[in-house]
Amino acid sequence: MIEIQNLRHTFAIGKKEHERKVPVLKGVTLDVQKGEIVAILGKSGSGKSTLLHILAGFMTPESGSVLVNTKETAKMKEEEKADFRLANFGFIFQNFQLMPGLTAFENVELPLKIKGETVKKRQAKVRALLEKVGLQDVADHYPNELSGGQQQRVSIARALVTDPPILLADEPTGSLDSETEQDILMLIQSLNQSLGLTFVIITHDDEVANVAHRQYRLHDGELVKGEKRHAI
């Protein structure tokens, strides 16, 4: 499903005359199979976000290749990239990134509006998903009327609404207390099992990485394989 081959990326920092090269990825290779949860651990600054941004096609790597469903995003034009991203990836962020002026229902509905789906299709899909994440009773609440865990559930429903096969999660429980963290991790596992969704999760939290089928650690620009665990 995802094939990352010998990915290298270096940032240039500072003004031209004092430019400093910071190699962040030094040959990262990773295969992710359909239906797997893969966690990428690493300290702050180890390059996790850089790897995720390249995987999602937001950044072009210096060298190496990323194939998603056998397609290479780096070779696509911007518009094609955006369509490809919408069809293949859902995003889950640490800070939820919900629209404050929209209700839970409207936040989940937004990607379908952008896609041009009919009102009838949108309503059926959003209702079903809000139910799936256990939020049917708070569909008309605004984000600031929801708990952190509920907001993350809205953001997960929004990520799922376009039926992407791959979910990319950036510290999905980083803003939550430990009990709520467990709820969200169980939801991720249940979505993985019931819908066969593929997850790539970047995190510095071992608890989060424990839900993964495979764990890797980004260290000194290289990906080191961690202990293999089975999802509960």
Ligand X SMILES: Nc1ncnc2c1ncn2[C@@H]1O[C@H](COP(=O)(O)OP(=O)(O)OP(=O)(O)O)[C@@H](O)[C@H]1O
Least distance to ligand X from the beta carbon of 217, Å?
A: 11
* Closest CB to ligand X among residues 204, 213: 204
The two three-digit tokens of residue 114, written as one number? 């952008």
Least distance to ligand X from the beta carbon of 119, Å?
A: 39
User: Which backbone phi and psi does 59 adopt, to 5 degrees?
Assistant: -135, 145
* Closest CB to ligand X among residues 19, 78: 19
Cite the DSSP H helix spans in the chain: 48-55, 78-88, 104-115, 119-132, 148-160, 178-195, 206-209
Least distance to ligand X from the beta carbon of 195, Å?
A: 27
Residue whose C-alpha is closest to residue 7's, from 64, 70, 68: 64
Query: Which residues of this protein are in contact with ligand X, per CB under 6 A?
Result: 11, 13, 22, 24, 42, 44-50, 204
* Closest CB to ligand X among residues 48, 214: 48
Residue whose C-alpha is closest to residue 4's, from 58, 78, 54: 54
* Closest CB to ligand X among residues 45, 196: 45
The two three-digit tokens of residue 129, written as one number? 């998903």
* Closest CB to ligand X among residues 192, 203: 203
Least distance to ligand X from the beta carbon of 48, Å?
A: 4
User: Which backbone phi and psi does 56 adopt, to 5 degrees?
Assistant: -80, -5
C-alpha pair distances (Å), 70 with each of 3, 31, 59, 78, 165: 8, 12, 18, 18, 14
Least distance to ligand X from the beta carbon of 103, Å?
A: 30
Any idea what the Cα angle at residue 26 is, between residues 25 and 31, rounded to 5°? Answer: 75
Least distance to ligand X from the beta carbon of 12, Å?
A: 7
**CA–CA distance, 39 with 25 (Å, rounded to integer):** 17
* Closest CB to ligand X among residues 94, 182: 94
